[in-house]
Amino acid sequence: MTTIEQIFRESANFLIGGKRGAQARIARETGIPASYVSAILSGAKPGTDEARRKVAAALGYPGDRYEAFLNIGRNILAKRDPFSGGPATPSDEDLAAQGFMKVDFSDNMKLAAGGGGRIEVTEPAENSKVIVHRASLGRGTYRPKQLQAFRVGGDSMEPIIAKGGIVLADITPREKDPRNIKEGAIYVLCWDLRDGECALKYLRWAKKGRLLSIESEDSKRFKPVFREIDEVQLVGRVIWAWREF
């Protein structure tokens, strides 16, 4: 049977989160000896109700918020989201068993699909991974490390791929080899490397094996750009896209 002491410890240790000096700060704010705070949090001592409430207050849950504090521990023990009480984030194993996989976002580029210029880093903390079902990727058999997700920062590929949308690209060596370019496919590519321009574009041959035509969906506003093959760096071929409505 779960005790109130166990629930308290789950809540407190979750909120502390391994922060250095947290226990010393709690001791100072509550007037409880640091050794006693440590004993309560480790389970060596149950602590009094008064002491537990003081610790909760120091962690941002004073007075009548104590019950909300305890609910964090109850949710954790029940393997629910600590704050909402909803389902917790599934493990990689749970996702794999249901046919899903996690794919990393690019940590160093946000794709232009239009204007050009240097591309700023996308927000990695918020957008570190996407979850995709394998069946949605067609007949190809992919592993997570073969793919990378990118946030689109321009509008030249609308309406096929929207500004602010997300694309998945196959980044295996085969797709980075110019000899394997599939005409009319959409690629993540870089050119004019001095300027750091990376983009999302259709690729077609202007001269087979030598000169590439780099094209946008919105061909009225964005004319094709022509580049020798050795001026272009292929990052990967786009195999799937999400868009915002």
Instruction: Give residue-wise pLDDT tens across range 223-245.
Output: 998 999 888 889 899 998 886 55
CA 53, 31, 45 angle in degrees (round to 5)?
Answer: 60
Q: Are the C-beta atoms of 222 and 216 separated by less than 8 Å?
A: yes
Three-class DSSP category at 205? strand
| CB atoms inside a 10 Å sphere around CB 193 | 11
How buried is 80 (Cβ within 10 angstroms: 0-12 exposed, 13-18 middle, 19+ buried)?
middle
Q: Are the C-beta atoms of 213 and 183 separated by less than 8 Å?
A: no
Q: Determine if residue 16 is left, alpha or beta; phi over 0 gives left, psi from -120 to 50 gives alpha, anything else beta.
A: alpha
pTM beyond cutoff 0.85: no
196: pLDDT confidence band, cut at 50, 70 and 90? low
| CB atoms inside a 10 Å sphere around CB 112 | 23
CA 27, 28, 32 angle in degrees (round to 5)?
Answer: 40
Three-class DSSP category at 122? coil
HSE (CB half, 13 Å, CA atoms) of 120? 4
List the single range of 89-98, 191-200, 208-217 with lowest mean pLDDT.
191-200
Going from the N-terminus, what domains does the chain have, and what CATH number goes with each?
4-77 (1.10.260), 93-242 (2.10.109.10)
Q: What is the mean pLDDT of the chain?
A: 83
